């Protein structure tokens, strides 16, 4: 009996040692090891239970390719709206100039029809009447309040999307941190969708256009944002357009002064020819009699130019653009040299710059200044 018990104990010890060494060998070679029905079984890695698949949306956030794809989609929306807005603004400018030219031409032709010894008086009269008749038609159809409002909204949508992309690339708020379960790219997509929803009724214009080849901005550090966004806006847009608008305003005012001076001079000659001035030289008296009727045409031209100046507001826009450029330059000059993306001061700087640009666009998109 003692012998049988001894043998049983030896066999149990041997089996335990064998199990221990097999398990150790399997662990060393990274192979699963199971015990089935009291016997040891070594299972290959290929027959092991597969690992659980990764959950949807990894903890690491979106990949670089996903971020670039989302940025490009939002940027293409901005460029498409920019194309739509630019085309509509060009039409507004062209129609405003058409109203100006037709008014001046109509007044001149109507006056020419009154001249004596003109064999084609009726042609000049009909042509002048046709020009003047087109003015209210163009104004009501192509310069209506609804047309200008649609153009303003297209421009506002384009600028809003552009501002979101630049803020995202610069790491400004709300893209400087994760809010809840949303990554910054999720916030960008949501905000871009909000802009698109605000102009949903203008989607027919959007669908008929396509973006141009302007690429989206890359990810920006401090110098990149200041150079490519802020100072580029100052030099390539604000100051350049302020100078162009001021020059155009001065040119139009010179035309207006010339027209009103001509009207006053012609009126003086007409009054002189009718006895207002005695002993007038015969040549000057004859000239006054021939051009006296042109005073009304010159007055009409001056009034048309004045109306064009008032509708375009080029001088006011030039002043506002210059003020915004100075504000952006002051923001850059006041930024401390150690402020970098990721700190609170940088977030405030980006927000102030974008608010300055957005405020400028918001104010003047409603005016829709033309040339």
Residue 354 and residue 346 in contact, taking contact as beta carbons nearer than 8 Å: no
pLDDT digits (tens, 9 = 90+) for 251-286: 999 999 999 999 888 887 777 655 555 555 666 666
The closest of 203, 150, 162, 206 to 368, measured between CA atoms, is: 150
- pLDDT at 40 > cutoff 50: no
Domain membership flag for residue 292:
yes
Domain membership flag for residue 13:
no
Domain membership flag for residue 77:
yes
Look up the domain containing 119 and give its range: 64-365
The residue among 70 and 16 whose pLDDT is bigger is: 70
Domain membership flag for residue 177:
yes
Domain membership flag for residue 53:
no
**Rounded-to-integer distance, Cα 5 and Cα 159, Å:** 92
Domain membership flag for residue 336:
yes
State how many domains the chain has: 1
Q: Residue 306: which residues within 8 A CB-CB, separation 6 or more?
A: 256
Domain membership flag for residue 371:
no
Domain membership flag for residue 317:
yes
155 burial (CB, 10 Å; 0-12 / 13-18 / 19+) is buried
Mean predicted lDDT score pLDDT of the chain: 82
Predicted TM-score (pTM) of the model is: 0.75
- pLDDT at 155 > cutoff 90: yes
Confidence grade of residue 5 (pLDDT, cut at 50, 70, 90): low
Q: What φ, ψ does residue 34 adopt, rounded to 5°?
A: -125, 160
Tell how far CA 54 is from the center of its chain.
Answer: 40
């Amino acid at each position: 009996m003692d012998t049988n018990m001894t043998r049983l104990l030896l066999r149990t010890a041997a089996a335990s040692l064998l199990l221990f060494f097999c398990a150790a060998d399997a662990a060393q070679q990274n192979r699963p090891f199971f015990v089935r029905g009291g016997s040891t079984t070594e299972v290959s890695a290929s027959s092991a239970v597969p690992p659980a698949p990764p959950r949807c949306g990894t903890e690491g956030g979106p990949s670089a390719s996903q971020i670039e794809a989302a940025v490009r989609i939002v940027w293409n929306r901005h460029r498409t709206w920019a194309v739509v807005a630019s085309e509509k603004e060009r039409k507004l400018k062209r129609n405003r100039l058409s109203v100006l030219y037709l008014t001046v031409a109509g007044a001149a032709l109507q006056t020419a029809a009154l001249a004596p010894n003109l064999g084609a008086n009726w042609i000049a009269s009909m042509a002048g009447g046709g020009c003047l008749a087109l003015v209210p038609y163009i104004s009501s159809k192509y310069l209506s309040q609804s047309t200008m409002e649609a153009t303003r909204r297209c421009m506002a949508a384009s600028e809003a999307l552009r501002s979101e992309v630049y803020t995202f690339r610069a790491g400004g708020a709300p893209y400087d941190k994760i809010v809840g379960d949303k990554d910054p790219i999720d916030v960008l997509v949501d905000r871009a969708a909000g802009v698109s929803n605000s102009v949903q009724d203008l989607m027919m214009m959007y669908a008929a256009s396509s973006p141009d080849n302007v690429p989206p901005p890359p990810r920006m550090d401090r110098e990149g944002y200041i150079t490519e966004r802020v100072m580029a806006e100052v030099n390539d847009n604000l100051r350049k357009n302020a100078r162009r608008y001021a020059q155009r305003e001065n040119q139009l005012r010179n035309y207006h002064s010339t027209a009103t001076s001509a009207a006053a001079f012609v009126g003086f000659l007409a009054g002189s020819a009718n006895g207002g001035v005695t002993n007038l030289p015969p040549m000057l008296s004859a000239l006054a009699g021939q051009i006296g009727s042109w005073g009304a045409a010159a007055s009409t031209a001056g009034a048309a130019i004045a109306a064009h100046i008032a509708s375009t507001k080029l001088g006011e826009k030039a002043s506002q653009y210059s003020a915004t450029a100075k504000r952006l330059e002051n923001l850059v000059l006041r930024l401390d040299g150690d402020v970098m993306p990721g700190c609170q001061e940088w977030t405030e700087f980006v927000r102030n710059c974008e608010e300055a640009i957005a405020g400028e666009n918001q104010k003047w998109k409603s005016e829709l200044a033309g040339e």
